Chains A and B, each alone.
Chain A
Amino acid sequence: MIRSAVLGLALLSAAAAVAHAAGPVAAPNDAVVTAETFPATLSEYGFFSDAPGQVPANRVTPYRLNTPLWSDGAEKLRFMYLPAGAQAKADGENLLQLPVGAALIKTFAFEDNGKRRLIETRVLLHRASGWVALPYLWNAEQTEAKLALAGARVPVTTPAGEAIEYRVPNKNQCKECHGLNGVVTPIGPKARNLSHDWLQQFASAGMLDAVPAVKSAVPLWEDRDKVSAASAARGYLDVNCAHCHQPGAGASNSGLDLRWQQTDDQALGVMKRPVAAGRGAGELLFDVVPGKPDESILVHRMASTEGGVAMPELGKATVDKDGLKVVKRWIAGL
């Protein structure tokens, strides 16, 4: 870790030196972000002053989510880019409203022989035509990531020690999660799932118009055993499931709505019968049976890795044991 930080610094200074020699510091290429094309490599965007080291360029701000989407235990590095002069707008507790020209960048990494190995970087680009989601696959040398429209499979070992064929999603699969009412939208950077400090700093830097008031924030995932079972589980379900399980999204036809702000028990699956779960329901009758996690379809599907049963359908090859524990604890206490 220290070594990579040192390496990162060294690269940073090298990049700075180059940038200094060339003139301005490294900055993303706005024309590449907004043109209606599919750039072939990640480097064309210029989001990083050192991409292998994941050192962001000017106006590319790292952020984290209070509770993140779980992806087979991948380490994730998230960045938000706003072009010069542009500003995000707060919308209460909801998604930050990012202007055309903005981008979200997310890199997925696993440890390999004690070193961080970058697997893929996904970009969400806000263009005049709307948001576009594109996946970039890192090469074995870790020098460049190339567009992988059709996705890929990459053998990795998860932090839990499981060897899997990690799935890099194809462009359509990006939309399966990021689609809402027929258009692509960001999911993660909702004010309720960002730290107050980060929002404040972002606003002070002039990148955000105002610090939104958040009454009910999604808890920090590492605090899951300290907060209420409902808060931890509902935060987890919102982040891991609700992008599909809400009206207008990929699994709207299920009638299940797992958003943080949903208050109706039936919509949340309590004593709700499945609709088109098919064999995913197993021998069970209801999505959530209060007090009985092991009789709840929600738990059954989270605990499965079998195609046609496992949930989420995408981005999961192994069971999230911590997530499962949190959801079971919530159901047990209902």
Chain B
Amino acid sequence: MRITRLALLALTAAASPALAETHEIAAGDGAQARLQEALITAQPGDEVVLGAGRFLLDDGLSLDVDGVTLRGAGMNATVLDFTGQQGAGEGLLVTSDKVTLRDFAVENPHGDGIKSKGADEIVYQRLRVTWTGGPKETNGAYGLYPVESDGVLITESEVSGASDAGIYVGQSKRITVRNNIARHNVAGIEIENSRDALVTSNYVTGNTGGILVFDLPSLPVMGGGNTVVRDNLVAHNTTPNFAPKGNIVAGVRRGTGVMVMANDGVLVEGNTILDNPTAPVMVVAYPLQFKDTTYNPYPRNVTIGANRVDRGGYDPQFEGKEQMLAAFGGALPPVLWDGLSQPGTVAVRVDPSLKGWTLGLTSQGGGLDVANVKPGPLQVAAPDASVTLTGYGAPAELEARLVP
């Protein structure tokens, strides 16, 4: 079926691109069924166009047709309102490839906002996901949530109120997250168990933690890395953590700017990182014990290049912070490393313009608040010009789908 459809699509594209249909859906009575039916009966290449207005939805929506564009009249004009949602784990679920989502908002989904799973080459442009009550533990987990996908472009979108991550890219590769606003989430932007990501020119503010690059054990896709975090504004991430305790991001400390955990090859440069009172930049190993023998818990080849940072961790969320602050003259230096590295590898290199400190941990798996923390000044190598990352970011074909 898929092959037939693709063949047909190729055929129609060659013969007459005008054959693609536009399905216009207005807000109002029966919107749930009308919209869902359009998303089911659409053919590859079709556009489903949402009118301006508020769509009151009582169930999740889903799209499983390749090559469909779902677009509205603007992220403030077209609102998919899930406040009265009765079922499903997310507002919109996309499970097909080459989908473009543009110009609409999702409000108050009970689970995640927009999830795309196994949906390769997806574009999210000018979307808004908002939990309108502000940061709350009862808000859904993720705002924009592509997972298990090859080719992801998220741009010009806004997410606020997620009780986990505003923008969360998991178990994916070839990713660009650019020109977005993430605020009042637990984590602003999270790249997890993913490779080849570019996170650039985002405004990440008012979260508990700003930008997280993580690798976690016991997952189908591991070995995260080859990721660049560049030219972002990461400011005032001072919201107390409101994630439910069982969540991995519940361990993110209030005031974390950019955090890299257990990844191979991450470059953090050109960012402006202001008022992140635990640590503007944090590079750590996975802090918990694990059984998965294929998992590497250490940061490797992480480069902290030149970034604009303020005085650093002036109010860190650490046990014994008073002594730490006193030892460092009132604020912790901007770059924090836990001191752990895989033998034979370099965990982190830091631009000489930035000062740092280490927790001085000697073994992985005991958490960060341990009795044997031995804080001290950071003494690591400067960035190595021969260590360069290539091949990151979304494929050009995705960029070509953006509209001005």
* Residues of B bordering A, CB below 8 Å: 1, 4, 32-34, 36-37, 39-41, 58-59, 62-64, 85-89, 93, 95, 109-112, 117-118, 137-142, 145, 147-148, 163-164, 168, 170-171, 216, 218-221, 243-248, 288, 291-292
Contact = CB atoms under 8 A, between A and B. Distances in A.
B142 to A, nearest CB: 6
Nearest to A283: B245
Given A179-B95, A281-B247, 6 more contacts: A175-B95, A176-B62, A253-B148, A274-B246, A277-B141, A297-B246
A149 B141 contact: no
Interface string A269-301: 000111111111111111000000000010000
A172 B95 CA distance: 9
A313 B63 contact: no
A170 interface: yes
Contact of B163 (A129, A152, A278): A278
A112 to B, nearest CB: 21
Contacts of A297: 246
A173 B111 CA distance: 16
A150 B58 contact: no
Q: Which among A153, A250, A275 has the highest number of chain B CB atoms within 10 Å? A: A275
A333 interface: no
A317 B138 CA distance: 19
A321 B219 CA distance: 31
B4 A129 contact: yes
Given A273-B248, A273-B288, A307 B33 contact: no
Contacts of A266: 218, 291-292
Nearest to A311: B89
B37 A278 contact: no
Contacts of A283: 244-246
Given A179-B95, A255-B220, A165 B86 contact: yes
A150 B36 contact: yes
A165 B41 CA distance: 25
Interface residues of A, number: 46
A32 B85 CA distance: 35
Contacts of A313: 87-89, 111
Interface of A: 36, 129-130, 149-153, 165, 167, 170-173, 175-176, 179, 182, 247, 250, 252-253, 255, 266, 272-286, 297, 306-308, 313-314, 317
Given A279-B138, A279-B244, A285-B246, A172 B87 contact: no
Q: Which among A252, A276, A306, A314 has the highest number of chain B CB atoms within 10 Å? A: A276
Nearest to A287: B246
Q: Which among A176, A285, A314, A317 has the highest number of chain B CB atoms within 10 Å? A: A176
Contacts of A167: 59, 86-87
A149 B245 contact: no
A172 B57 CA distance: 16
Contacts, number: 148
Nearest to B141: A278
Contacts of A278: 111-112, 140-142, 163-164, 244, 247
A171 to B, nearest CB: 5
Contacts of A276: 141-142, 145, 147, 164, 168, 170
Given A129-B1, A273-B288, A281-B244, A252 B220 contact: yes
14 contacts: A151-B33, A172-B64, A176-B62, A176-B95, A252-B220, A253-B117, A255-B218, A273-B218, A276-B145, A278-B244, A278-B247, A283-B244, A286-B246, A308-B112
B112 A172 contact: no
Contacts of B118: 182
Nearest to B138: A279
B339 to A, nearest CB: 23
Contacts of B34: 150
B195 to A, nearest CB: 15
A275 B170 CA distance: 10
B54 to A, nearest CB: 19
A306 B110 contact: yes
Nearest to B245: A283
B147 to A, nearest CB: 5
Given A129-B1, A182-B118, A272 B218 contact: yes
B31 to A, nearest CB: 11
Nearest to B58: A153
Nearest to A36: B1
B64 A279 contact: no
A178 to B, nearest CB: 12
Contacts of B245: 281-285
B164 to A, nearest CB: 5
Q: Which among B112, B147, B245, B246 has the highest number of chain A CB atoms within 10 Å? A: B246
Contact of B87 (A129, A149, A307): A307
A286 B33 CA distance: 38
A29 to B, nearest CB: 21
B131 to A, nearest CB: 11
B354 to A, nearest CB: 32
